[in-house]
Amino acid sequence: MKILLVDDSATMRRIQKTQLNNLGIKDIVEAENGDDALDKLYSNMPVDVILMDWNMPVMDGMTCLKKVRENASYKNVKIVMCTSESEKNKVIEAIKAGANNYIVKPFAPEALKEKLGL
């Protein structure tokens, strides 16, 4: 499984990368905002899952999610929003925009495993 990990916080990327490594996932590409993610997605296909933060500078996760879903080439890429945005209306907004799943920070490693369908 190849994962594109998108978060503006280097700390959060390191935490999530360690959790993914512990789940046996080693093929991880990192991006620090939505714009960076679109570049990395284009040059690293096939990507299986995007773990996407919401609040980021340059391009936020919701904008990036919509752009990915506009492109039929990426229709099989699973997108899991991984954010501190905790309200139900945010979850609904993300799912309507094409996210496959949603996980609220902070989360335990078991929750990440479940959201990835492992």
Partner 1 sequence: MDVTYINPFIRATVETFKTMLNLDLATGTPMLKKDARHSYDISGVIGLSGEAQGIISISFPKVMALKIVSTLLGEEIKIVGSELTDGIGELANIIAGNTKQYLTQFKLSISLPNVVVGSGHRIEVQTGVPTIIVPLKSSLGEFAMEVALKTR
Q: Which stretch binds partner 1 (CB under 8 A): 34-42, 44-52, 70-78, 98-106?
A: 98-106
Q: Residue 24: count other Cβ atoms within 10 Å of its Cβ.
A: 8
Q: With CA atoms as reference, report the closest residue to 47 among 21, 19, 75, 20.
A: 75
Q: Which stretch binds partner 1 (CB under 8 A): 23-31, 54-62, 70-78, 94-102?
A: 54-62
Q: Is 37 helix (H, G, I), strand (E, B) or coil?
A: helix
Q: Is 43 helix (H, G, I), strand (E, B) or coil?
A: helix
Q: Tell me if 108 contacts partner 1 by CB under 8 A.
A: yes
Interface with partner 1 (CB under 8 A), residue from 86, 95, 110, 118:
86
Q: What is the contact surface with partner 1 in residues (CB under 8 A)? A: 8-12, 14-15, 18, 55-57, 83-89, 104-108
